[in-house]
């Protein structure tokens, strides 16, 4: 190794929601996207199912990267990443990168609402924004889509608070609450809330709703695939025939959604829905992209709930009554509370707002050393 990589790179390892990722300042990484991606692959150890020679956790949920910087102003925001925004309304820019595990790949095609939860605290830790004496509110541009999110979190004494009494499913113990509100997530990757132009489509004889409100998702009934929708993620993962069907479904959906050939891409996700069985609004089983998720991603859940809020969407008839605009989403390891307001009064559904409560925690702050070429 030579240069900066040989000396190591500053890195803050953080849990954001139900994911874990490596957080970097943009200035500490190469400006050229190809050089940056090559470096991150070597840092994470991607291209090996165990990621044994890197800091990746051998799972898509722990093979993630956040690249954060002060927000570019309108004159300087000609970012080459997908649909980067330049409205000047953000305090920090957050680029999410999904690293492959057994494949040495890097994707910027999607947002990640889980890693988003830790972006505000990271920005305070690195001095990108000034913290309030008790609480901080910051506006975050999700560079992948140009969408804006507002994060509100506790900063007693001007430092992020990580301990607290908020529990989220899929994470042991409790931590301080981080409230996220989303705007402009409609059509985040495809340009349209209903990117196929239809509320329902049929693929391989299966009815689906293709939706994009922060994450491109294919929503279909579990029963349409011969499932109850209550199977564990281990059971789903052991069913290779099912995973093959999911891959076929999403490849065809990707073309219909204008995403092109998604064979090796991480989006769209696929979510199977069933009637709730634990007092929630809906029961879900999600694939990322063909591996079963132990829970459900934040923005994936936002997209699913958005579909359920539209009369006639696939699976909407299975959902229980939400608590106002709050939907209680059941998943394999617990529940996720999502808020969504959708205006269905016109010819085309429009999203008014969506939000979620998450937690985050600083795990390790130091220097990471990539493997050599």
Q: What string of DSSP letters covers 299-320?
A: HHHHHHHHHHTSTTSTTGGG--
Predicted pLDDT at 4: 61
Q: What sign has the CA pseudo-torsion 226, 227, 233, 234?
A: negative
Q: Identify the helix (H) or strand (E) that includes residue 233.
A: helix 233-237
Query: What are the residue ranges spanned by the domains of the chain?
Result: 3-186+359-368, 201-348
Record the tokens describing residue 138, joined without a space. 């910051």
pLDDT of residue 183: 83
| Spans of the chain below 70 pLDDT | 1-5, 73-88
Q: How far apart are CA 216 and CA 188, in angstroms?
A: 8
Q: Which are the contacts of 249, defined by CB distance < 8 A and separation ≥ 6?
A: 203, 204, 206, 208, 218, 220, 270
Q: CA 211 to CA 85: how far, in whole Å?
A: 21
Determine what percent of the chain falls in helix, strand and coil, rounding each to the nearest 5: 20, 35, 45
Q: Would you identify the CATH topology of the domain 201-348?
A: Diaminopimelate Epimerase; Chain A, domain 1 (3.10.310)
pLDDT score recorded for residue 81: 40
* Residues in a beta bridge with 323: 326
Q: Taking the model in full, what pTM does it have?
A: 0.75
Are the folds of 3-186+359-368 and 201-348 the same?
yes
Give kind and range of the element (H or E) at residue 43: helix 33-44
Q: What's the topology of domain 3-186+359-368?
A: Diaminopimelate Epimerase; Chain A, domain 1 (3.10.310)
CA neighbor of 168 nearest in space, from 156, 179, 159? 179
Query: pLDDT value at position 3?
Result: 62
């Amino acid at each position: 190794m030579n240069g900066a990589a040989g000396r190591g790179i500053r890195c803050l390892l953080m849990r954001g929601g139900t994911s874990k990722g490596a957080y970097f300042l943009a200035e500490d990484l190469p400006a050229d996207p190809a050089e940056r991606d090559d470096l991150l692959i070597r840092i994470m150890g991607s291209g090996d199912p165990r990621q044994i020679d890197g800091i990746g956790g051998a799972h898509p949920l722990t093979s993630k990267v956040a690249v954060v910087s002060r927000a570019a102003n309108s004159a300087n925001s000609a970012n080459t990443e997908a649909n980067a925004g330049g409205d000047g309304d953000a305090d920090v820019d957050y680029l999410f990168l999904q690293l492959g595990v057994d494949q040495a790949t890097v994707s910027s095609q999607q947002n990640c609402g889980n890693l988003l939860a830790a972006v505000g605290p990271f920005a305070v830790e690195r001095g990108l924004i000034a913290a309030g004496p008790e609480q901080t509110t910051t506006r975050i541009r999700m560079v992948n889509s140009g969408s804006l999110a507002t994060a509100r979190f506790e900063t007693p004494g001007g430092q992020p608070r990580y301990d607290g009494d908020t529990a989220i499913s899929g994470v042991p113990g409790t931590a301080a609450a981080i409230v996220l509100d989303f705007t402009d997530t409609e059509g985040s990757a495809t340009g349209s809330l209903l990117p196929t132009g239809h509320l329902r489509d049929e693929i391989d004889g299966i009815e689906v709703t293709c939706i994009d409100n922060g994450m491109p998702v294919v929503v279909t009934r579990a029963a349409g695939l011969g499932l109850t929708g209550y199977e564990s993620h281990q059971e789903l993962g052991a069913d290779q025939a099912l995973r093959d069907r999911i891959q076929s479904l999403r490849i065809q959906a990707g073309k219909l959604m204008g995403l092109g050939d998604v064979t090796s891409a991480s989006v769209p996700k696929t979510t199977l829905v069933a009637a709730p069985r634990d007092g929630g609004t809906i029961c879900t089983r999600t694939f990322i992209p063909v591996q079963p998720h132990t829970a459900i991603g934040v923005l994936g859940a936002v997209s699913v709930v958005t579909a359920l809020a539209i009369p006639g969407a696939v699976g909407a008839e299975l959902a229980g009554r939400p608590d106002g605009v709050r939907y209680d989403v059941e998943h394999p390891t617990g529940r996720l509370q999502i808020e969504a307001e959708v205006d269905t009064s016109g010819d085309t559904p429009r999203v008014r707002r969506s939000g979620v409560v998450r937690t985050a925690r600083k795990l390790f702050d130091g220097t990471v050393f990539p493997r050599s070429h």
